[in-house]
């Protein structure tokens, strides 16, 4: 169950990372509320997952999900570059996430 909670926490990190773009420096109310809510929920879920998961593994996977998810969302939603080097680098992060998951006790 902790792994599922960690996954949801990571996906919420993607929501708030992309949400930051839409807040325009927290000057827009609705995107700001969504972003802050996702931030709090993400941190709370991360802390719950860390009750049973190793801190280094949980934190690295959480940030990895957030980084990869935000980069993919940037490509899909915001028209950011999808160069070969960028996609390859994202694949390396995913490989690291999988490696950490497989090596966790």
Q: Which are the contacts of 85, defined by CB distance < 8 A and separation ≥ 6? A: none
- The predicted-structure confidence for 28-37, as pLDDT tens digits, reads as follows 999 999 999 9
Calculate mean pLDDT across residues 71-98. 95
pTM (predicted TM-score): 0.89
Q: Summarize the confidence of residues 42-61 as an average pLDDT.
A: 96
Of all residues in the chain, the percent with pLDDT exceeding 70 is: 99
17: exposed, middle or buried (C-beta count within 10 Å: 0-12, 13-18, 19+)?
A: buried
Residue 101: pLDDT band with limits 50, 70, 90:
confident
Q: Are 31 and 23 in contact (CB under 8 A)?
A: yes
pLDDT at 60 over 70: yes
Which two three-digit tokens encode residue 4?
A: 């599922």
pLDDT of residue 105 exceeding 80, the answer is no
């Amino acid at each position: 169950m902790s792994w599922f909670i960690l996954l949801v926490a990571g996906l919420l990190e993607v929501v708030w990372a992309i949400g930051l773009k839409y807040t325009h420096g927290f000057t827009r109310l609705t995107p700001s509320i969504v972003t802050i809510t996702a931030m709090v929920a993400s941190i709370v879920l991360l802390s719950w997952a860390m009750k049973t998961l190793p801190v280094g593994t949980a934190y690295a996977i959480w940030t990895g999900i957030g980084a990869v998810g935000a980069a993919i969302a940037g490509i899909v939603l915001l028209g950011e570059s999808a160069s070969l080097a960028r996609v390859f680098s994202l694949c390396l992060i995913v490989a690291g996430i999988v490696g950490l998951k497989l090596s966790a006790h």
